[in-house]
């Protein structure tokens, strides 16, 4: 029977039930027509035709499945999750069973106030997550015994590689040999080999680190503690290694289990210079390999060599303690190819989870969890020993490697039948790792899998091996105050209220694509079938993930116009590095060994240059022409100056200048004619989906930012996913994995760039759901609406701020650059002043001074409705009027609402007010909404602090949670 369900429409005639796109795209149909009319256009297709070069436009439609409803998508993802069988994960190898406290999962992981925030470049509106990250750094520093820790890295394997690169920088002239522990996790070794191989660094693997002859030529040595097979070295052995290495001028890097360090003397006390690892077992689900927050800590003197983000303590204009990103001159967006790393997105959301796990449990709770795991492992070892199965090592923390001559596969299979995943080391050996979540029943099943009666009584066997630590740690009050759920819930809410995220208003950051992260797409990451699966589980227990990965990969290939996709890179910068490695390997396979030059336009993201340097390529900059396009004459010159040496060009399209360059196809031809490859940076793919395919207009490889274009949230600075899509001739050079080989037979012995086979697999369901719900037509419309929203803003503001670059027909792409340089020169009001003043109006600032100093780059995305676009434009127009008042002398240059912005409530509520403008102008420049919200208006967002003094914080570097004593020392 046809039931004839009635379609629901809104006042503008938009279908609200059949198409998710109506929920995702902000402007209604009538709003879009009005916006088009203001631009002198009559349709979205006309806008696309006039803005984009005809030679790159698609002539066909995206060949994707029709859009699914939200309900159908939820059902499909539930079906896929059910095809995964996590069982009890006891495989180990860097991934361990943990228990995520519900209060943290509910109030952080599943909370838009945390997951929709951006990297805290604007610290005044980021004090909540900056405090959470400072907690993370304090936790890592305390547990590792070193004074300085970073704000997270991508995973443990990349953390080990970053540490090796750090040591190589710090030990310049010491040699190009790296000594590596034979007990290093295999995925860490593979990533280190990939990263160091690109720099021609020799790796020597040995199980006798302290006496290895290679130390004589080494710049660093890496030790894993405990080792992959579970051996916990004695503190004396590790001290002996550190002494031997330091005697030869060699740095010591320890890859350490952070939970074990709640019991063992920390590496900083036995001589390690750098300590790295993962915080996954601090309450972060397995997620089939990621996302997880790696960690790094360093001894004093290495702070300026540290890769990635670093949160530091400073003060605001009123002397109030405040937090901000420290020592940013190390980073890629400033130093480009001379940066300490290419890191842009790290793993902030997961670092917050790990930090709050430590806050919730406190030092005694963490020590108890570690002690219980170790004791249960000893009991398991005793039960196995009583049945004649001996562990390889007597000293261990949580992992046993046991002999099962000729029967290892049978043991692992029996354990699987009983609901436990064990590690098949080889035909004669089984690995067992006990996690926080292992139950008595699980341990009995492990014993039974070896054919031993689990009811047999046995004494504990084996010991810890390392000297127990006696010093105190995590003594700061934050780790000793929030141990009830009520306390932690309120602490998390307080921190959340200090931040400005997408749940509060538009974040118009250019080149960042802060679009809606749909709730329907976010829900599946908490499904047990997706959250609890170990990355090295048997393929038959990961069928749901494998189907999701295959389908998503196929969709990304279709959208981009390439031949194959790798989901292993777990950030956009990682994708850049991976794509360049594929290009370099391609040239090497053709004996083109001299192709080491990477051409990069001056307008490119800093990550491009940093990634090229990491890949062992020489960066040669190509200038921009007066209209913002790549200067093809200069490109021709640079090609001519490097005959036979061009490896690639990295070009962002549309460009970071916010325009569709009509010379892009000629640029690709020129590089191909010179024998090079074309890397098209997919940072701005939100302007192309459904309209143009990089793989069809000249690209050989592109990385896609799933955390931009395809709706994975930014998480305050991570997680991100940066898959690469490549042309057919580069497929064989895609990443592989030492533990789980890629199922695509076309992929050869490619390098490894992430710890897990599919990187941050746990968040792939978000992009899968987004594409499924939007469908081919919805994705195309989203792109067109992103173009319309940007052009609407550019048109409305052009009479007040010059739009620096436009393309064909005076149109921009999905973002526009507002030029404040002449205004700043005539008024004394800087781009920073405008950015901070926007906070008072209730906005996150656009991207400041990139790619051109003294400008604001605005990207509204398709998700913002007309009301929000107009609110932003009204704010910018009002700020221009304020600048004019400064220029006219009505307000002093050194005392006006812009230079004093932002205005926290502590200033507005102060008894004294000496400024030449009233409090109402300071706090409520756009008016004060009172009464119910009822469809319009919003409550005031109050920044927690006044403008922060960044220079003070860098001069008085403090990167752990401040005690009263430390604050006194800083002052």
pLDDT for residue 739 is more than 80: yes
Q: What is the mean pLDDT of residues 23-28?
A: 97
Q: What is the mean pLDDT of residues 547-559?
A: 98
**Percent of all residues in the chain with a pLDDT value above 90, rounded to a whole number:** 88
What single string gives the DSSP state of each residue in 657-694? TSS--TTHHHHHHHHHHTT-EEEEEETTGGGTTTTB-G
Average pLDDT, the chain: 94
**d(C-alpha 945, C-alpha 681), whole Å:** 37
* DSSP 8-state class, residue 468: B
- Confidence band of 938 (pLDDT split at 50, 70, 90): confident
Q: Specify which residues 92 forms β-bridges with.
A: 95
The 3-state secondary structure of 746-800 reads CCCCCCCCCCCCCCCHHHHHHHHHHHHHHHHHHHHHHHHHHHHHHHHHHHHHCCC
- Confidence band of 13 (pLDDT split at 50, 70, 90): very low
Q: Which domains does the chain have, with CATH numbers?
A: 93-504 (3.40.640.10), 564-756 (3.40.640.10), 778-928+940-955 (3.90.1150.10)
Q: What is the mean pLDDT of residues 519-545?
A: 97
pLDDT at 171 (0 to 100): 92
pLDDT for residue 17 is more than 90: no
Structure tokens at 539: 């393929």
CA angle 842/843/849 to nearest 5° reads 145
693, 727 contact by CB (below 8 A):
no
Structure tokens at 240: 């002996």
pLDDT for residue 834 is more than 50: yes
pLDDT at 379 (0 to 100): 97
Q: How far is CA 883 from CA 801, 826, 879, in A?
A: 11, 9, 6
Burial 280-302 (b: 16+ CB within 10 A, else e): bbbbbbbbbbbbbbbbbbbbeeb
Q: What is the mean pLDDT of residues 731-760?
A: 93
460, 378 contact by CB (below 8 A):
yes
Going by C-beta distance under 8 Å and a sequence separation of 6 or more, which residues neighbour residue 883?
823, 827, 829, 834, 898
Q: How far is CA 713 from CA 478, 503, 512, 526, 709, in A?
A: 27, 12, 11, 15, 10
Half-sphere exposure of 201 (CA within 13 A, CB side): 31
pLDDT for residue 970 is more than 60: no
**Percent of all residues in the chain with a pLDDT value above 70, rounded to a whole number:** 96
> How distant is the alpha carbon of residue 202 from its chain centre?
29
User: pLDDT (tens digit, 9 = 90+) per residue, 868-902?
Assistant: 999 999 999 999 999 999 999 999 999 999 999 99
pLDDT at 1 (0 to 100): 44
Burial 206-216 (b: 16+ CB within 10 A, else e): beebbebebbe
pLDDT for residue 672 is more than 90: yes
pLDDT at 179 (0 to 100): 98
- Confidence band of 196 (pLDDT split at 50, 70, 90): very high
pLDDT at 964 (0 to 100): 74
pLDDT for residue 795 is more than 50: yes
* DSSP 8-state class, residue 539: G
803, 812 contact by CB (below 8 A):
yes
pLDDT for residue 28 is more than 50: yes
pLDDT at 969 (0 to 100): 59
User: pLDDT (tens digit, 9 = 90+) per residue, 247-278?
Assistant: 999 999 999 999 999 999 999 999 999 999 99
pLDDT for residue 9 is more than 60: no
Q: How far is CA 874 from CA 592, 793, 877, 926, in A?
A: 56, 10, 5, 8
pLDDT for residue 2 is more than 60: no
pLDDT for residue 565 is more than 60: yes
pLDDT at 334 (0 to 100): 58
pLDDT at 968 (0 to 100): 66
pLDDT at 604 (0 to 100): 83
User: pLDDT (tens digit, 9 = 90+) per residue, 429-451?
Assistant: 999 999 999 999 999 999 999 99
- Confidence band of 955 (pLDDT split at 50, 70, 90): confident
392, 417 contact by CB (below 8 A):
no
pLDDT for residue 66 is more than 60: yes
How are the residues of the chain apportioned to helix, strand and coil, as percentages rounded to the nearest 5? 40, 15, 45
pLDDT at 324 (0 to 100): 95
Q: Specify which residues 692 forms β-bridges with.
A: 57
pLDDT at 933 (0 to 100): 87
């Amino acid at each position: 029977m046809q039931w004839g369900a009635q379609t629901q429409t809104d006042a503008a005639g938009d279908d609200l039930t059949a198409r998710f796109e109506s929920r995702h795209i902000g402007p209604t149909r009538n709003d879009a027509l009005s916006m088009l009319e203001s631009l002198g256009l009559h349709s979205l297709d006309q806008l696309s035709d006039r803005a984009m070069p005809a030679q790159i436009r698609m002539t066909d439609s995206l060949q994707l499945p029709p859009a699914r409803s939200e309900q159908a998508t939820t059902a499909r993802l539930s079906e896929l999750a059910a095809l995964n069988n996590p069982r009890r994960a006891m495989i180990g190898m860097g991934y361990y069973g943990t228990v995520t406290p519900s209060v943290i999962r509910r109030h952080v992981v599943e909370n838009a106030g945390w997951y929709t925030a951006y990297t805290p470049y604007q610290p005044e509106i980021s004090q909540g997550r900056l405090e959470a990250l400072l907690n993370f750094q304090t936790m890592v520093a305390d547990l590792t015994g070193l004074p300085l820790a970073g704000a997270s890295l991508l995973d443990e394997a990349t953390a080990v590689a970053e540490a090796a690169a750090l040591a190589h920088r710090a030990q310049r002239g010491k040699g190009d040999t790296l000594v590596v522990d034979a007990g290093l996790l295999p995925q860490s070794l593979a990533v280190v080999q990939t990263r160091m191989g690109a720099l021609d660094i020799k790796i020597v693997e040995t199980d006798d680190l302290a006496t290895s002859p290679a130390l004589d030529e080494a710049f660093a040595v890496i030790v894993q503690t405990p080792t992959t097979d579970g051996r916990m070295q004695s503190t004396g052995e590790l001290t002996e290694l550190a002494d031997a290495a330091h005697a030869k001028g060699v740095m010591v890097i320890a890859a350490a289990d952070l939970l074990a360090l709640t019991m063992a003397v920390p590496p900083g006390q036995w001589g390690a210079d750098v300590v790295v690892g993962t915080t996954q077992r601090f309450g972060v689900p397995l997620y089939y390999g990621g996302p997880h927050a790696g960690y790094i800590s360093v001894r004093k003197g290495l702070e300026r060599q540290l890769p990635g983000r670093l949160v530091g303590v400073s003060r605001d204009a009123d002397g109030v303690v405040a937090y901000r990103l420290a020592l940013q001159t190390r980073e890629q967006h400033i130093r480009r190819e001379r940066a300490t790393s290419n890191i842009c997105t790290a793993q902030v959301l997961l670092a917050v989870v790990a930090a709050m796990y430590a806050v919730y449990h406190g030092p005694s709770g963490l020590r108890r969890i570690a002690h219980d795991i170790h004791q249960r492992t000893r009991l398991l070892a005793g039960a196995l020993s009583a049945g004649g199965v001996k562990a390889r090592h007597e000293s261990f923390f949580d992992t046993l490697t046991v002999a099962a001559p000729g029967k290892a596969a049978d043991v692992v299979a029996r354990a699987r039948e009983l609901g436990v995943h064990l590690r098949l080391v080889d035909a004669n050996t089984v690995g067992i790792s006990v996690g926080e979540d292992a139950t008595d029943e699980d341990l009995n099943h492990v014993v039974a899998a070896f054919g031993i009666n689990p009811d047999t009584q046995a004494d504990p066997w084996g010991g810890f091996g390392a000297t127990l630590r006696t010093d105190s740690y995590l003594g700061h009050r934050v780790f000793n105050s929030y141990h009830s759920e009520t306390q932690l819930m309120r602490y998390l809410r307080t921190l959340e209220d200090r931040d400005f995220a997408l749940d509060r208003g538009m974040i118009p950051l250019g080149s960042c694509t802060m679009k809606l992260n749909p709730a329907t797409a976010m829900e599946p990451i908490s499904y047990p079938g997706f959250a609890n699966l170990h990355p090295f589980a048997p393929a038959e227990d990961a069928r749901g993930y494998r189907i999701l990965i295959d389908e998503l990969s196929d969709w990304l290939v279709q959208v981009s116009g390439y031949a194959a996709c790798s989901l292993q890179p777990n950030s956009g910068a990682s994708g850049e590095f991976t794509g360049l490695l594929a290009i370099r390997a391609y040239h090497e396979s053709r004996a083109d060994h001299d192709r080491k030059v990477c051409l990069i336009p001056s307008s490119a993201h800093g990550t491009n240059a940093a990634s090229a340097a990491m890949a062992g390529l020489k960066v040669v900059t190509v200038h921009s022409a007066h209209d913002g396009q790549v200067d093809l004459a200069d490109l021709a010159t640079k090609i001519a100056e490097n005959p036979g040496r061009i490896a690639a060009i990295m070009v962002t399209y549309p460009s970071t200048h916010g325009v569709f360059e009509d010379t892009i196809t000629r640029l690709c031809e020129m590089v191909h004619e010179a024998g090079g490859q074309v890397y098209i940076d997919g940072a701005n793919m939100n302007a192309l989906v459904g309209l143009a395919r990089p793989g069809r207009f000249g690209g050989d490889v592109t990385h896609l930012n799933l955390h931009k274009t395809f709706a994975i949230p930014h998480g305050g600075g991570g997680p991100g996913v940066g898959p690469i899509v490549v042309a057919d001739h580069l497929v064989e050079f895609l990443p592989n994995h030492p533990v789980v080989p890629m199922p695509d037979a076309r992929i050869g012995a490619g390098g490894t760039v992430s710890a897990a086979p599919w990187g941050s697999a746990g968040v792939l369901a978000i992009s899968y759901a987004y594409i499924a719900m939007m469908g081919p037509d919805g994705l195309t419309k989203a792109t067109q609406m992103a173009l319309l929203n940007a052009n609407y803003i550019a048109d409305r503001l052009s009479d007040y701020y010059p739009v620096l670059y436009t393309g064909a027909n005076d149109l921009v792409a999905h973002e526009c650059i507002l030029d404040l340089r002449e205004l700043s020169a005539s008024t004394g009001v800087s781009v920073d002043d405008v950015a901070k003043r926007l906070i008072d109006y209730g906005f996150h600032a656009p991207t400041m001074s990139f790619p051109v100093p003294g400008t604001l780059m605005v990207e509204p995305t398709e998700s913002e409705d007309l009301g929000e676009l107009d609110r932003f434009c009204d704010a910018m127009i009002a700020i221009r009027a304020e600048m004019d008042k400064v220029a006219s002398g009505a307000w002093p240059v050194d005392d006006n609402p812009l230079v004093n912005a932002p205005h926290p409530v502590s200033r507005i509520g102060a008894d004294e007010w000496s400024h030449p403008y009233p409090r109402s102008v300071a706090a409520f420049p756009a008016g004060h909404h009172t009464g119910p919200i009822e469809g319009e208006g919003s409550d005031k967002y109050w920044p927690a602090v006044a403008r922060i003094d960044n220079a003070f914080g860098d001069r008085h570097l403090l990167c752990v949670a401040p005690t009263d004593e430390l604050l006194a020392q800083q002052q």
